[in-house]
A and B are shown apart, each in its own frame.
Chain A
Amino acid sequence: MRYSGLRIIKEALTGHKGWTPAWRDVAPQNQYDFIIVGGGGHGLATAHYLAKVYGKARIAVLEKGWIGGGNVGRNTTIIRSNYLLPGNEPFYEFSMKLWEGLEQDLNYNAMVSQRGIMNLFHTDGQRDAYRRRGNAMILHGSDAELLDQEQLRKEAPFLNFDNARFPIKGALVHRRGGTVRHDAVAWGYARSADRHGVDIIQNCEVTGFKIENGKILGVETSRGFIGAGKVGVAVAGSSSKVMSYADMRLPIESHVLQAFVSEGLKPVLPGVITFGAGHFYVSQSDKGGLVFGGDIDGYNTYAQRGNLPVVEDVCEGGMALMPMIGRARLLRMWGGLMDMSMDGSPFIDKTHIDGLYFNGGWCYGGFKATPASGYAFAHLLATDTPHDTATAYRLDRFISGHMIDEKGVGAQPNLH
């Protein structure tokens, strides 16, 4: 069923009796050409592009719980293409372009809102670094604008400009950045993939791989064995666990990132704002809640919840940035599991096993990458060659010396 304004009017006049489920509930078949492990944003996007762009048939997405129940439903919904390094920025700019056409592509309202991102700076040195970053972004076809304090005051008068320790001197603004309704991304990709014939199989946990003579034959699941020509794994948060079934150790640790939302307020924030002196980022959802977050907790964990010291740290960041946030009450907080990689950048690559492919290591930047990650992973699965924008995301980049370390902190996953 195609969604349109006309359809809404028609359904309104006929008692909304004509709506059908957005995707089928199917039992797994015995054999597929492609199996995508993980029904999150990246897995569903992979299935969508694999079917639609690369014209592949007999595709299944296997999800251990329900689709969109993991990190695609737990993030702070920010999209941006404001990276510095050559291995990253073309990929994220590709992702931004896909976001811009996403709703037409999926025939689904994902509430893509390019309301802009302001990265604040507080010192001369930081301003110079942001100017350099802005230039790198422009060189890669993205957009960037440097605002001084006076210009910024006009756009965000509520910021604590005269903070004695971290005065706000200006901002690097990325106008095409913004937010997207995260659940709708999962649902939109799932619906579109389903319409292109992909089987979305929920409550089907992968418990092992069947590998013979270095080639994958299929996956063992909680609903029995399913044969496959190629298997793509996109299970960020649980990557080490799933890839251990193929006896792989990954350059990844699992950490928890907490996110927070306040009670609903009248519109107060123009877009996404990030604090440059601490780690704090905030936007306002269309329901009115302030959505914000900060650092990861910093220790290995598979519990989807964090601890109170980080809550305190995040709230301190918020108070330093915009004291008015202290008047809002915190409504909810939650945690999601991050694949923290050794250089802070992701992987989209083949493995040493023929027919087994890996997508992961997204740290806490996976949501914005969803369309490009799915596209590039589908390209890799379909053609056995990396997509032009994802050639740097190799698993062997540490031994070859081609790390993509935006922060320059080295092999310390909890600092990326």
Chain B
Amino acid sequence: MLIPHPLLGLRDAQEFVYKGDARLMARPDPQADDALQAFHDYTYLRDNPAGQHRELWFHEQGDRSWLIVTRDTRTHEILKAELARPRGKGERT
């Protein structure tokens, strides 16, 4: 697979480390009343869709940026790659 890095152009997926569902960027609030359940769901449960999947790829052998790649898990077609950034307040990842 080739990943279209927004800064570096097409890069071999071998340069990256796969870090899973991009929803993992949205950590639950540790102070919330339901924090135990929320962290369980966050850590262990996945949507695991057959189709479009937003996922984290870390460019370890490259510029060490984190990307959010949108990929079709049925065909391996990569639809989009963007730089991952920390969430602002009230902003959805």
Residues in A lying within 8 Å of B, measured CB to CB: 238, 240-241, 249-254, 298-303, 307, 309, 342, 398-399, 411-414
Contacts and interface: CB of A to CB of B under 8 A. Distances in A.
Contact of A342 (B44, B47, B71): B44
Contact of A254 (B14, B55, B73): B73
B37 A301 contact: no
B1 A307 contact: yes
A253 B48 contact: yes
B85 interface: no
B40 interface: yes
Contacts of A398: 40, 43-44
A413 B49 CA distance: 15
Given A238-B50, A300-B20, A399-B36, 20 more contacts: A240-B46, A240-B48, A250-B46, A251-B46, A252-B48, A254-B50, A299-B55, A299-B71, A301-B74, A302-B73, A302-B74, A303-B73, A307-B13, A342-B43, A342-B44, A398-B40, A399-B40, A399-B44, A411-B44, A412-B20
A250 B13 contact: no
Interface residues of B, number: 25
Contacts, number: 66
A300 B13 contact: no
A298 B18 contact: yes
Contacts of A309: 13-14
A299 B48 CA distance: 11
A29 B61 CA distance: 57
A253 to B, nearest CB: 5
B31 interface: no
Contacts of B71: 299
Contacts of B47: 240, 249
B70 to A, nearest CB: 12
Interface of B: 1, 13-14, 18, 20-21, 36-37, 40-41, 43-50, 53, 55, 71, 73-76
A231 to B, nearest CB: 20
B46 A399 contact: no
Contacts of A301: 73-74, 76
Contacts of B20: 253, 300, 412-414
A29 B73 CA distance: 35
B57 to A, nearest CB: 8
Contacts of A241: 48, 50
Contacts of B75: 303
